[in-house]
Structure 1
Amino acid sequence: MMRLPDLALRPLLVRLVGFGALLALGAGAVSASLDASADIAIARDRLDRAQARAARPDAVPPLTGTDGESLLAAFRARLDALAADRAVVIDTTGLDPDPSRPDLPRLHGSLHGTAEGLHGFVQALETGTPLVVLEQADLGIDRPADAEIGRPTIMRLVLTARGVVLPPPAPRRTP
């Protein structure tokens, strides 16, 4: 037995239930949209970082050796290769162990040459492969120029750099 007021409320209740269902569906869609937006922002950030890493120049390896003697030989070979193309002569090279950092000994070199030759030499030393990072460079005049006979100024360069002594490779284990 239905009463008249109950029949009048039914369409209103059906509408309210329908509106609630639509509201729940809309909230779910908005929530999914916000989650997707956050995922897109994270993916864009990762893409930007990956593109920045790809745009960076490759790292230049440092001057290395397995021990002090091989490191000094590599340093001398690097200096010889750079001096061959310039008006530079290598006088001496040496290695001083650093007790506080045994894997990074100091390398010393004494050279002489023209100002242009030494400038190009130092620039190539610091930018080429393998990378040699200078800690100290003292530049002075070894012999002044003589305009009458056309002799250029000869400069002396004493430099200190660091090399890297690599640890011996770990023995391979066989199963």
Structure 2
Amino acid sequence: MQEPVGLSALVVEWCTRELGGTPVERLLSSTQMSEVAAVRLDDGRRIVVKVRPDEAGRAKACVDVQRFLADSRYPCPRPLTAVTVMDGQTVHAEEWLPGGDMLRGEVVRGLLGDLSWKREWITDLGGIKTARAAEAAILFVPHVIRAGGFAPFAISITR
């Protein structure tokens, strides 16, 4: 079978092996530091497959947290598989939840409060649109210093 346009052979093979379905339509795809592909499988399921390098085991920890959040009724895609390794890349699948709006402002503050964050720990970074690479964290420093001065700080980024 020919791969749908825009999907790597790894995604097609992984879906067939791990999910028992072959991608027949690409709904969305993006490749930056990882490959993300939303696909429709031949059995009708619509899923998202994420492929990325992961030498430190970070992907498994992220998927474990995401599963915990989904099980706690937090509005996020539910992981459908565990993280597996294929051709030196970590791969997993999650529910496809198209549309929706990003949570912002007071909604995010409320959710963080539910996680026992103090209001003074939360700073709205306003116009920053992306933080795709570790080096992009430098973009946050001026905002944090303006908000809290030069006191020591740690940054946790939520989206």
TM-score (normalizing by structure 1)? 0.30
TM-score (normalizing by structure 2)? 0.32
Which of structures 1 and 2 has the bigger CA Rg?
Answer: 1
- Structure with greater contact order relative to length (CA < 8 Å, sep ≥ 6): 1
